[in-house]
Amino acid sequence: MVTKQEPNARLFVLLGFVGAGKSTYLAAAYHIANTTKVSGSLQITASQRDLEYIETLHERWLSCRPLTRTSGQSPQVVTLDMKGPGGTAGTVRVPDVSGEALINSLSDRRWDPDFDASIQAANGLLVFVNPANVKEPVTWVEAQAWARALGDGGEEGDGQDSPKKPWSLAEASTAALLIDLLEVVLSRNLRRPIPIVLIVSAWDLIADVDPQAWVDGHLPLLSHYLRNNPSLFRLALFGVSAQGGALPEKEAELQAMDDPADRVRVVGGSGDPRDLTRPLQWLLTQ
């Protein structure tokens, strides 16, 4: 349950659809906040919490096994007591929700009461997109070409062996879905401007471009929406590699690293490039 707020607790909700990289980020950030080797990172100060969920994620992350997809309608809430390099201290609560539950809530126009409670109380949002599964919008020119290819019969190819799959909302463009989701969040959370960290996950898959240029190029509608509504959003953007590479292809390479903290990278801001707590630190200062 997330309705019982502790004094000074800050609630940051993870948002993003199936495979966006939410849980992997949480597992890796937990690792970084537990090691003293990464200078400038948030540090976990107390461990008397119920850490079963995050410990399970962390264990898989450590052994380079892909995480299982988060399931269920209610979020799994991770609560951590942290202190920052500037002496700031406090409790951070991070609900991890299933991307599938989020998609279902957009199509059904209803969501779990616990999740609603966390959205209403959220001090900030962490919004994830994974370049490996972002759905880009279809341009008018492409749509016209497809329509021509389908022909009068409305079937691709010979139309004999290809039964039509019913369309589902999950096939809509990522930007359109995220903007719909954010509109619903804004209707439930009255904080203005609401602090948002946009995280491009799996950053190891991206070469020679900075996170802003990537988002402008691949999610222009989302970029425009977030950047041009300063009364609604206060925005920060990071590229994050929380796993260090694609699995299982890079498993041996990642396993061979002496220090698991060396697998991770964050692009955006300054300091140790392994400091995955940087997005959380930004939220804590808003």
Ligand X SMILES: Nc1nc2c(ncn2[C@@H]2O[C@H](COP(=O)(O)OP(=O)(O)OP(=O)(O)O)[C@@H](O)[C@H]2O)c(=O)[nH]1
Any idea what DSSP says for residue 270?
S
Interacting residue with ligand X among 95, 99, 195, 260 (CB under 6 A)? 99
The mark string for 69-108 relative to Mg ion (x by CB under 5 A, - otherwise) is -x--------------------------------------
φ, ψ (nearest 5 deg) of residue 115: -65, -40
Closer residue to Mg ion (CB): 17 or 233 = 17
Residue nearest to ligand X (CB): 99
Q: With contacts defined by CB under 6 A, how many residues of the chain interact with ligand X?
A: 27
Interacting residue with ligand X among 74, 76, 91, 98 (CB under 6 A)? 98
What is the per-residue burial (b if ≥16 Cβ within 10 Å, else e) of 9-46?
Answer: bbbbbbbbbbbbbbbbbbbbbbbbbeeeebebbbbbee
Other C-beta atoms lying within 10 Å of the C-beta of residue 104? 16
Closer residue to Mg ion (CB): 23 or 201 = 23
155: exposed, middle or buried (Cβ count in 10 Å: 0-12, 13-18, 19+): middle
Closer residue to ligand X (CB): 19 or 211 = 19
235 binds, among Mg ion, ligand X, none (CB under 5 to 8 A by kind): none
Closer residue to ligand X (CB): 114 or 204 = 204
Interacting residue with Mg ion among 2, 11, 21, 23 (CB under 5 A)? 23
Q: Which of 112, 99, 103, 32 has its CA nearest to residue 70?
A: 99
Residue 13: beta bridge partners? 125
**Antiparallel, parallel or unpaired: β 124-129 and 9-15:** parallel
69 is a site residue for ligand X (CB under 6 A): yes
Interacting residues with Mg ion (CB under 5 A): 23, 70
